[in-house]
Homo-oligomer: A and B are copies of this chain.
């Protein structure tokens, strides 16, 4: 496995591997502090690609003022070891100066689907994400790029960008990976104090019980599910709900409270953002439409 820090060297390494016939290039873009969620992306990339590149870059332009760019957890040595253990070929770790030798005047923006959920509380965040992802795509020219569904809105935004700009890459969304007790893996989980960590289970718990309620017919409408999610999360005194929403996926159009889940013919996402002190956690679950479901 090679650790590469410059764009020129990375381009040349990938070109060499392309010319040697290694086959498709798979990219796993990350901000480092890797966990089992990232490892699952690397395994999927390994399965589908002849060359697996992971990038580790805490991208300053996707952080707003007052957000945690400076304090975002970093552990390069551990990250490199984890990547090696997953059979990664190239780890790209550029300095900020390498990615932004001058402040970028150019931004890529996706309208509409970035104005809600995380986009509402993090203005400019998704512009920073789409801009850096497009830079990585232009540098690495991957055939596949792997993203975790924990950041479901990010997946929807990137898929929209790829479609709108005719980027020649296939986005591969991968399932959320959870701790044994249900907490979705996140590099930011290290911020949680013990009591917060315990109460953070209300996110996955609310989603799981909502799914059960739908399956058992106890919650039929989007309004009932919204109420369930909020009620469940509010049992945690430390939880501060930023949003608990139901939307079509990947179009991200909020569904009406009166919307009956069994009537839907496209997936609906239950999406949560909840703050515990200064730590902001997100989680989500997809509700797939029942083919031939009962239309009462």
Contact = CB atoms under 8 A, between A and B. Distances in A.
Interface in A97-131: 102, 104-113, 130-131
Interface in A52-76: none
Question: Which residue, of A102, A106, A134, A166, has the highest number of chain B Cβ atoms within 10 A?
Answer: A106
Interface string A125-162: 00000110011001101000000000000000000110
Contact of A166 (B112, B113, B138): B138
A168 interface: yes
A134 B164 CA distance: 10
A267 B264 CA distance: 61
Nearest to A107: B109
A167 interface: yes
A106 B139 contact: no
A165 B61 CA distance: 13
A171 interface: no
Contacts of A105: 110-113, 160, 164
A29 to B, nearest CB: 14
A125 to B, nearest CB: 16
A286 interface: no
A39 interface: no
A111 B135 CA distance: 17
A106 B130 contact: yes
A3 interface: no
A247 interface: no
A192 interface: no
A232 B134 CA distance: 46
Contacts of A131: 165
Contacts of A31: none
Nearest to A104: B164
A74 B130 CA distance: 35
A172 interface: no
Contact of A106 (B7, B138, B161): B161
